[in-house]
A = this chain, B = another copy of it.
Amino acid sequence: MENSFLQTYVSIDCVVFGFDKSQLNILLVQRDTPHSTGTEWKLPGSLIYQQEDANEGAHRVLNELTGVKTMTLRQFKSFTSPQRISNLCDVDWLEATYHNKIERLITIAYLSLIKINRKFNSVSKYKTVDWCPISELPQMPFDHNQIVKEALEEIRSWVERDPIILFELLPTKFTASELRRLYQAIHHREYDVRNFHKKITRMEYLLPLEEKQEKVSHRAARYYKFDRVMYNKRKISL
């Protein structure tokens, strides 16, 4: 072990969650595979620059990807195994993309949340950016499948500490059943409808509106909205 300290490139990879109908989705980008064998989906990410710290890098990636300037972002884990770029395709792709021979690469994974119907204003280097339901994730390069798996665990425990993040995934006005389905998707279990209504009645930071759904072929559901001020009052009283 002669003084051979690791000197390495560092990337960030972002697991961006969106919620639609009953499913969590993740934002994926398409890359060309090096030997023109087609395309492949991966997590959006980038090497970080000399002058940046990881947070800045993550913001940059997401801004390039979506045009959104500020979004909720959380660093959740670093992936450092030397084997994470053992696949030759990945090695070649890195060299083609960054014009550097890269033999080792650690990545810092971020988790982020966005309303899924938000319009993107992308200046992205990627040809295609799209939502992918977490139940239908493709095989991805590097350890991206593992990163997503850990991101799912992380989002669960984050919601428990700070339920505010649920409302970053829902539209400004949402129905009780949208919120319930989001809970179900995140906690991966069913909630009884009646019990769930009682639960949201107890959350004083959820304001029921007069407004209801229109033109739905069943009884119209009431809209709710999230009241940040009430929420913050609640939190300090814990």
Contacts and interface: CB of A to CB of B under 8 A. Distances in A.
A7 B7 contact: yes
A80 to B, nearest CB: 4
Contacts of A5: 9, 47-50, 98, 100
Q: Is the interface of A mostly helix, strand, loop or mixed?
A: mixed
A55 to B, nearest CB: 8
A3 interface: yes
Contact of A82 (B1, B51, B104, B108): B51
Contacts of A51: 4, 82
Contacts of A98: 3, 5
A201 interface: no
A49 B4 contact: yes
A1 B6 CA distance: 24
Contacts of A62: none
Contact of A157 (B52, B106, B161): B161
Greatest chain B CB density within 10 A among A3, A7, A51, A52 is at A7
A124 interface: no
B75 A78 contact: yes
B50 A6 contact: yes
A26 to B, nearest CB: 22
Interface in A52-75: 52-55, 75
A35 interface: no
Top 6 nearest A-B pairs (CB, nearest first) are: A54-B80, A5-B47, A53-B80, A4-B50, A53-B81, A78-B78
Given A6-B52, A53-B82, A78-B108, 16 more contacts: A4-B49, A4-B50, A5-B9, A5-B48, A5-B49, A6-B9, A6-B10, A6-B50, A7-B8, A7-B9, A10-B10, A10-B106, A51-B82, A54-B78, A54-B80, A55-B80
